[in-house]
Amino acid sequence: MVSTTSAGLLKPLRLPLATGDHFIDPPVVLAPMAGITNSAFRMLCREQGAGLFVSEMVTARALLERRPDTLRMIAPGAGEWPRSVQLYSTDPHTMRAAVTMMGKENLADHIDMNFGCPVPKVTRKGGGAALPYKRNLFTSIVGAAVEAAKPFGIPVTVKMRIGIDSDHETYLEAATSAANLGVAWVALHARTAQQMYEGKADWSAITQLVEHLKPTGVPVLGNGDIWSGADGLAMVAETGCAGVVVGRGCLGRPWLFADLVASFSGTQSKALPTLFEVREVMYRHGELIVDYFENEDRGCRDLRKHMAWYLKGFRVNSELRRQFGMVGSLAELRGLLDQLDDQAYPVEVSEKPRGRTSHGRPVTLPDGWLLDPDEIVEIELEDMFSGG
């Protein structure tokens, strides 16, 4: 195998699949994002060089009940492999059943577990970034997933945050527990749940986790504030992480992955598409999302939220921007795109934060959640939402 990381900056990341070891090269992972990382968006990122492409988060309960939208969310795009699904549950029995179902029905090659979501509808049920605080429950859920996946040769990974807030950091203990249970890697978004997406990610926490897990041999992937290939290099150099996970930085900018691939291979060139090149990516996104939903109206409604991200920094008049935000068909999209004048890529805004910028706020938790980390409290079953 010829390595794209020939500059020696990063080793390919091993993913032990049922069919044999798969090497993610470069070790760049598309983060699961609710309402974003459907198979259409994953295809765009795959075409730009992302190494692994994780589905939107789905709940174990919704999967077991075979909700059509949930099954659509985990369906791979054409030629997509490995099939990577992010799964969420607050109950070890439900998690075990869902992983067993995916194994028996050959629905996934890799399962990532969500312990990082900070949104209230997740944390108020004790899920996402709230869950690792209950160390026994966390161990039970991760252990159930790893054990259920083992007969099918499906590797399990976990993604987490630093903790609930600065007074309740959980990542070191939780990551050690997950590593000892047999996960393939741990990914850390270097913010607390309280921070949401505010301020700068604390990459020093990734550094600490890398050192903390060295005795286990389990790799650490870093996540948070990667807006360019240079950021990816900086994170690896600063933290020693084995790979990077990219979320908001690729919104309206799937070519960020081409930039990361070039950077990790030692190439100095940057991916800076002109507006005419961007508009063709926008139209391809439209075609893919319409195919995904099998409905032009629904697909275009979903596409609208991407328009401002794609056009960020370009000189486009306000009326035309408004029309992009109301696009209702592929023919209308083509007509609007053809009205754009070609421009150079706006470098001054290309490597700035985009997507969610939620300000920090107290984390919504179940009553009594913080009283005792060892206590198993009675919590409601997760909602039937499909992502978060």
Per-residue confidence band for 356, with pLDDT thresholds at 50, 70 and 90: low
CA-based nearest residue to 275, from 289, 259, 255, 290: 255
Per-residue confidence band for 199, with pLDDT thresholds at 50, 70 and 90: confident
3-state secondary structure of 154: coil
Determine the pLDDT at residue 6: 38
3-state secondary structure of 262: helix
CA-based nearest residue to 131, from 97, 98, 173: 173
Task: Please give the average per-residue pLDDT across 244-257, as a whole number.
Answer: 94
Give the global pTM: 0.91
Looking at the DSSP assignment, which residues form a beta bridge with residue 165? none
Active site residue 241: no
- Using a pLDDT cut of 90, give the percent of the chain over it: 81
* Calpha distance 75→85 (Å, rounded): 9
Per-residue confidence band for 29, with pLDDT thresholds at 50, 70 and 90: very high
Q: In the structure encoding, which two tokens stand for residue 385, read together?
A: 């939402």
Determine the pLDDT at residue 182: 98
Determine the pLDDT at residue 5: 45
Determine the pLDDT at residue 384: 42
Question: Active-site residue among 117, 241, 250, 300?
Answer: 117
Determine the pLDDT at residue 267: 80
Residue 113 clears pLDDT 90, i.e. is over it:
yes
Residue 299 clears pLDDT 50, i.e. is over it:
yes
Q: Name which residue leads in pLDDT, 6 or 170.
A: 170
Task: Please give the average per-residue pLDDT across 13-20, as a whole number.
Answer: 93
301-355 pLDDT, tens digit each: 999 999 999 999 999 999 999 999 999 999 999 999 999 999 999 977 656 665 5
Per-residue confidence band for 1, with pLDDT thresholds at 50, 70 and 90: very low
31-75 pLDDT, tens digit each: 999 999 999 999 999 998 878 999 999 999 999 999 999 999 999
Residue 6, amino acid: S
Q: In the structure encoding, which two tokens stand for residue 350, read together?
A: 């290309």
